[in-house]
Amino acid sequence: MNLTIQEKAVNTINIKRGQTLTFAGGIGPVWRVTNGVFKLVRSEEAVVALVQLAKAGDLIGVESLCHKAYQYTVQAIIDSTVEVHTVNHALSDPTTLVQAFLQQQRQTYDMYRLRTGPIGQRLAYLITLLEFRLDGQVVPIQRTELPTLKDIASTIDSTVETVCRDLNVLIPARPQAKVKKKLSANWAKAGNFGSFQTAAA
């Protein structure tokens, strides 16, 4: 795992999609999500269970306030950033405990929305979580910025095939790829493929 640390008032860490922030059983600080979305999972024998999602503004690892080990493995499902939330003990900042409590309630509701109802509605709700920013704004997400199809399917309790179909309705794939493919084929037929490769090099 390669984490990029930027020197600021607090350490800001960039975590790429698929990278892990914390491992269950590990020890570390409380983290605050400043951008992106993380999944909190717990492994039981051969089963990996999704417990919650943490979006921008959420705290991760609040159990460390009580000098406990991390309970969950936390992994970014899209490119994300976090910062160290500088609190040494629960009693030193009661507002952190209040935030953690309220956050827990919202995250429970999020999982309810992601696991019930038509697949299209679940997917649409997940996209709203992915598009949420720390300042409360909602920024449209690009198709290339989405989680993997496997991650999306496991999050909304669906299949990759169904996700693919409904995703094409919500966020259609760009048609440019087809145009480029068609142009390349035409150039190849015209005998210009060699010059195209040279130009690209």
Classify residue 112: in a domain, yes or no: yes
Q: Which two tokens stand for residue 124?
A: 């649409």
Q: What is the domain extent for residue 124?
A: 4-175
Q: Smallest Cα–Cα separation from 65: which of 21, 23, 13, 100?
A: 100
Classify residue 191: in a domain, yes or no: no
CATH of the domain at 20: 2.60.120.10
pLDDT > 70 fraction of the chain, expressed in percent and rounded = 77
Q: What are phi and psi of 13, to 5 degrees?
A: -120, 125
How much is the pTM?
0.78
Q: Give me the torsion for CA of 109, 131, 57, 19, rounded to 10°.
A: 100
Classify residue 37: in a domain, yes or no: yes
For 76-121, what is each residue's pLDDT tens digit?
Answer: 999 999 999 876 555 556 788 888 889 999 999 999 999 999 999 9
Mean pLDDT, the chain, rounded, equals 82
Please tell me the distance from the alpha carbon of residue 52 to that of residue 36, in angstroms, as a whole number: 14
Classify residue 27: in a domain, yes or no: yes
Per-residue confidence band for 174, with pLDDT thresholds at 50, 70 and 90: low
Q: What is the pLDDT of residue 12?
A: 86
pLDDT (mean) for 10-36: 92
Classify residue 186: in a domain, yes or no: no
Classify residue 83: in a domain, yes or no: yes
Residue type, position 6, single letter: Q
